[in-house]
Amino acid sequence: MKRRIQNTVVVLTFIIWLPVLVAPVSANQKAASLKKAMAELSLLHDQLVEKEKQTISIKAQLQEKIDELKKEILSERKDKKPIDFKAATMHPRIHYNLRLISEMLSYIDIYNEKSVFYKTGQDRLAYLYQQADDELKIINTLSDLKIDALIMQVKTVVEGYLPEAQTILISPNPFSKKSPQQIWDAL
């Protein structure tokens, strides 16, 4: 009987202390998960910063080329004296330059959208990183449910921006272009 009481005491003691013993392990696992998520957020943030820099550089190069083409059109315009758009389009070089400018302006619009996308991504990632950092600091007082929800939110955002962090993706779908007439009128 005494042996049975001792076994019962040991079992009850184990049951009482089990949550206390398991909680630090769970908290440590959550902390490790948060640190991993923070590392992913930081890496992806840096990649989006780089992609935004690339889009800015590409837009600047396109704008330089547009400016050169406009100068060429204006030079031809002075030499040949085309008075209106119809006469200008009869000149092959001017017509080609107007079409090229139209195409380049469309790409600039696309890169402007990409810049906004990357900047928004950077802001969202920075916010999530700060939130994860704050929760990591107080992890012992957080419930597992909150940590799991944060980790799922981080994964969702990372998956949304990760493809764009590797390569600037531009849809091959038709995009809007200014007509040569509109470009001519703007000159």
pLDDT at position 65 over 80: yes
Q: State which of 14-18, 66-70, 84-88, 130-134 shows the largest mean pLDDT.
A: 66-70
pLDDT at position 5 over 70: no
What DSSP state is assigned to residue 169? -
- What per-residue confidence (pLDDT) applies to 25? 46
pLDDT tens per residue, range 70-125: 999 888 877 767 578 888 888 888 889 999 999 999 999 999 999 999 999 899 98
Return the structure tokens found at 154: 């981080």
Mean pLDDT of the chain: 78
Helices in the chain by DSSP H: which ranges?
2-80, 85-90, 92-137, 144-166, 180-186
pLDDT tens per residue, range 133-148: 888 777 756 566 667 7
- Decide: 108 and 63 in contact? Cβ < 8 Å: yes
Give the span between the Cα atoms of 41 and 162, in whole angstroms.
10
- What per-residue confidence (pLDDT) applies to 117? 92
Average of per-residue pLDDT across 151-170: 75
- Decide: 80 and 20 in contact? Cβ < 8 Å: no
**pTM exceeding the 0.75 threshold for the entire prediction:** no
pLDDT at position 3 over 80: no
- Cα atoms in the 13 Å half-sphere on the side-chain side of 4: 1
Average of per-residue pLDDT across 155-181: 73
